[in-house]
Amino acid sequence: MERVIDVARYICDEYQKMSGEAIDEMKLHKLLYFSQRESFAVTGKPLFADEFEGWRYGPVCVAVRKSFCQGEIISKEIEKISDEAVYIVSNVIAQYGELASWKLSKLSHDEISWKNARKGLSVCENGDNKLSLEDIEEDAKKVRPYDYIWDMYLDEFEDYEDL
């Protein structure tokens, strides 16, 4: 299992290479969330252990927020993440990286995990209710993973059932 900070640094670095711009914090949190969901869809397990909270603009990983605000995400050297994590995160960046942060926020609001974490909160409250891994796993069931390297859905590979 990966450390969320390492995954966040990888996302920041890859986004910079893709867009030529530094990633904003909202986009980083949403790409992290979608990476976690994609990991469930592809491997059946979480990418990292850290939790998300259901804030009003979508899922937020508090550990990453603290590091981002203190400048530690961008200022420190990137630790290597596994090839499996690189594959998952790279596909998420390819799928969602060009979308505006507000669009990603809106997409995250369609997720069962975020909706359940927001129960009992007004639209103006940030809240600190956790998104459950079970709910994120449920969200992953509606995802059909796509391989952006081979330009096809994973279930279209002949040996997909053998994975």
pLDDT in tens, 98-122: 999 999 999 999 999 999 999 999 9
Asked whether the beta carbons of 47 and 81 are under 8 A apart, the reply is no
**Dihedral angle of Cα 96, 101, 102, 103, to the nearest 10 degrees:** -10
Q: Could you tell me the two tokens for 107?
A: 């997409």
* 3 state DSSP class of 88: helix
Per residue in 12-56, pLDDT (tens digit) is 999 999 999 999 999 999 999 999 999 999 999 999 999 999 999
Q: How far apart are CA 62 and CA 58, in angstroms?
A: 12
